[in-house]
A and B are shown apart, each in its own frame.
Chain A
Amino acid sequence: MIKLSQIRKLYDTQEALRNVDLQIEDGECVVLIGPSGCGKSSLLKSINRMIDIDAGTITFFNQDIQSLPVEQLRRKIGYCIQGVGLFPHMNVKENIAILLRILKWKEEDMDRRVDELLVMSELPLSYKTKKPHELSGGEAQRVGVCRALATDPPVLLMDEPFGALDPMTREKIQIAFRDIQQKLHKTVVFVTHDIEEAILLGDRIALMNEGQIVQLSTPEALIKDQKENFTKSFIGQDYPLMVLKRYRVRDLGLKPHSNETVTHAIDLNTNLKEALALCIKQSEPVVFKDGQETYQLKYSDIFTFIRGMQDEAAH
């Protein structure tokens, strides 16, 4: 658990963070979002002491981070940034294993760990000997995540890690990252300015403006509960539609139908936004196959689901 209380940060006379309080629970992903210069990056970097705060305390598993040696603290916190920052003179394996080598792991353990991470992030094992400049942007970012996870740290800090990727690659890597996160249950703090990314990845979204957290709630709760004008203008009118992307057809709990003619090539893993789009484009119901079973999907299934979700968020 990471607890930030009354954090202040000044750049010269400019206040970047104004008495920010934030508590991050174990295994949850908190997304910090806001316009440029709102202090989201500064807040993230204060956790692994890449910047030093001027007032306030940060406790990391009930220990004040100032009382820990800074290298010790950073080794417990994975860190991914937009530029990836892979070491250009080392190959992929050396990049991932740099900290393991410093910690004097055995060669075979190191090999096993690197293989494990590459498999998890869906990269071929042959990439181990590649140099960073031979990788595409998405591949480099995956290697960056592997490097951050090498020592299996309980916490991950991610500073707009997918910001520089093209939309197609970004969506793929976002989904891959969500799947990894659902497996590993790391405590993640994620900075972005992309509201869709925040919805897709965040358990909670902390909306920041002018050095303060304006609103902190789950993506679902944000549909109805928009406390400030700033929230309304930042998340936009189509926000409820974007939340649909968080869910898959599987979450609707559809029952298998029999003897239907399949009309569409989607499956239970398709997200609800796409499913809704299909309903709009085609005359309903949408009939599709997943494995051996056949299902049918209607507008009303999606609407009922959203209503239920909102009720749940309200309580």
Chain B
Amino acid sequence: MKDGIRRGLSLILFSTLLFLPMGFFKVNRVLNGSVFSLWDFDFVWFLVLCAMFSTFRVHNRFISLIRTLFLMVLPSILIYVSQGYLITESFDPNVARISLGPSIYLAIVGTWVLLSTEEKGTFKIVASLLVLLALFGFGAFPMLGFYKEYINRQTTFFLELQRHLSLAVSSLLFALVPGIYLGYQSTRHPRLREWIMGFVNGFQVAPTLSMLALLMIPLASLGQSFPFLRAWGVKGVGFLPAFIVLSLYALLPITSNTYTAFKQLDPAVMDSAKALGLSSKQIFRKVSFPLALPFIITGIRIAFIQNIGNTILAGLVGGGGMGSLIFLGLAQSATDLILFGSLPVVLMALGFEVILEFTELRLKKKMGVLYDQA
């Protein structure tokens, strides 16, 4: 996207603060709140004006530095000032709360769009996000419904986060070796490939939820018939069914990417390795595996990101993770709790995506396989 278009887009996004709700005031957790907007505050319009002005191009280095700093803290400031609405009302500060409204979300997106036009934009976006998270962690937004949920469930939150990650990672690790092995075998035996790809595709096509339900029956009966299995955790609910389903889902990206990784190797390179008199083991170790590795890692990345999202479903079968918070929020129709469960998942997925993609790029450059894509 061109810079001009991005500037225009963020101007529009900022201007939504003028007419869309900024947030909702709730007297307690469940009751529907009353809407408030920019015009319920005395001086916030000035802030919005500043934001809108900052979308214009400046050439002065000092001014643009000020602008960058302003944009990096703008999301935090917007959320901070929206808490001020509470002061004008009589309320019980322990239960009353603020939920953020659409215009604040849109303005935050606008900030990031605008930051992306600058040099090292991604870095600045991450920095503004970190500022927000840090302020949240230090308790700068005490009236936010989101924060109240966090205080109420601080221990559960970190426990579930840890369970979420360990479930996503362990199921991925479990799928790693079989996935790579199946992918490698499909390149060597074209006829086997049909079977292998059919097998791993089958899991991908079946809806995750129905897979969980299908697994419940055999696992439950296994656990009931064999007490020692039950002692090991073989049950229709809990960690195991979620683990199995996630592993099966992680197979396809790993297998198919491994297959392509070995398939796309330059035949001239493979031929010369063979003709030099390298044994097939040496060819695998020194040539084909190192060259395929970056593309295998692509598969692992896709599987991992997909796993982080899918692990939410583990909450349905008592497997824990952020899913249990989200489904609790859904059951209690507590919007903030739902957000509280899902936002960390989104952030985790994005964060790992960025980190892994960077690793991949480095590896591809090192292996000298990037130049034909550039």
A residues engaging B (CB < 8 A)? 48, 50, 71-75, 77, 79, 81-89, 98-99, 102, 131-133, 144, 147, 157
Contacts and interface: CB of A to CB of B under 8 A. Distances in A.
Nearest to A95: B272
Nearest to A88: B368
10 smallest beta-carbon distances between A and B, as pairs: A83-B268, A85-B272, A88-B368, A74-B277, A75-B277, A85-B268, A79-B275, A89-B367, A133-B371, A85-B269
18 contacts: A48-B275, A50-B275, A71-B277, A74-B276, A75-B276, A75-B277, A77-B275, A81-B275, A85-B273, A87-B273, A87-B287, A88-B291, A89-B290, A98-B276, A98-B286, A131-B368, A147-B272, A157-B275
A87 B271 CA distance: 11
B366 interface: yes
B278 A102 contact: yes
B193 to A, nearest CB: 22
Interface in B225-277: 266-277
Interface of A is mostly: mixed
A280 B276 CA distance: 48
A89 B369 contact: yes
Contacts of B268: 81-85
Contact of A79 (B270, B276, B287, B368): B276
Contacts of A81: 268, 271-272, 275
Contacts of A88: 266, 269, 291, 367-369
A87 B278 contact: no
Given A48-B275, A71-B279, A99-B276, 13 more contacts: A50-B275, A71-B277, A73-B277, A75-B276, A77-B275, A81-B272, A82-B268, A83-B269, A87-B273, A88-B266, A99-B278, A133-B368, A144-B272
Contacts, number: 72
Interface string B280-305: 00100011001100000000000000
Interface of B: 266-279, 282, 286-287, 290-291, 366-369, 371
B266 A83 contact: yes
Contacts of B366: 89
Nearest to A50: B275
B273 A50 contact: no
Contact of B278 (A50, A71, A82): A71
Contacts of B286: 87, 98
Q: Which of B273, B274, B276, B278 has the most CB of A within 10 A?
A: B276
A131 to B, nearest CB: 5
B272 A50 contact: no
Contacts of B267: 83
A88 B363 CA distance: 12
A60 B366 CA distance: 40
Q: Which of A74, A89, A147 has the most CB of B within 10 A?
A: A89
A75 B277 CA distance: 5
A259 B292 CA distance: 69
A85 B291 contact: no
B291 to A, nearest CB: 6
Nearest to A99: B276
Nearest to B282: A102
A68 B271 CA distance: 20
